[in-house]
A and B are shown apart, each in its own frame.
Chain A
């Protein structure tokens, strides 16, 4: 099985711009979770999508949004970029069954976003 793929791998933007990141989960996985990783804050949960619906959300401002398509691919959007948004954005896919709290997440390689 192919792993989780994320595009683009690297991105440079300037303050005030917006950005869209893409994630394709492992085939058969219906849940996609997004994380922000920075040296100071570690791995911070952004949100989880399942069957095109946001199922969980972390404590991030409304500038961070996402969506999921019928083929389970997901996109994450950050509007009005700030310097502090520079980070590695990781997506993770899993089977996603609500009753399965032992669901394992498999991470993609991430998108390295630099905001200048």
Chain B
């Protein structure tokens, strides 16, 4: 079945440093979504990427979808303590409706 791997599992950064999490799928994806889960909270939808090579920005967050539509990344510039949480990618393969989630990257930002 489809697998979505996400690295790193944990990342500790000093406030102001950049952060990147990577997502790789075993199959070509029709689209990929990114979610953020704060400690004690639930996943909150951030963004969806659909096109090959697509890049989207949300303030300090930059999301990329690979040319082959099998990988994606989330980059945060100049992290802040409010960025703390676990970031998940979730992909759909082909015409499937089911989302397969990556294992998540837990980000800690040290003040």
Contact = CB atoms under 8 A, between A and B. Distances in A.
Interface of A: 33, 35, 42-43, 45, 48, 55-56, 58, 90, 92, 98, 101-110
Interface of B: 30-31, 33, 35, 41-45, 48, 50, 88, 90, 92, 95-104
Given A43-B88, A102-B31, A104-B33, A48 B98 contact: yes
A114 B47 CA distance: 32
A48 B97 CA distance: 9
B95 A101 contact: yes
Nearest to A88: B42
Nearest to A103: B97
Contact of A102 (B44, B48, B100, B101): B48
B102 to A, nearest CB: 8
A107 B101 CA distance: 13
A1 to B, nearest CB: 14
Given A42-B101, A45-B99, 8 more contacts: A35-B101, A42-B102, A43-B88, A55-B97, A90-B43, A104-B33, A104-B48, A109-B41
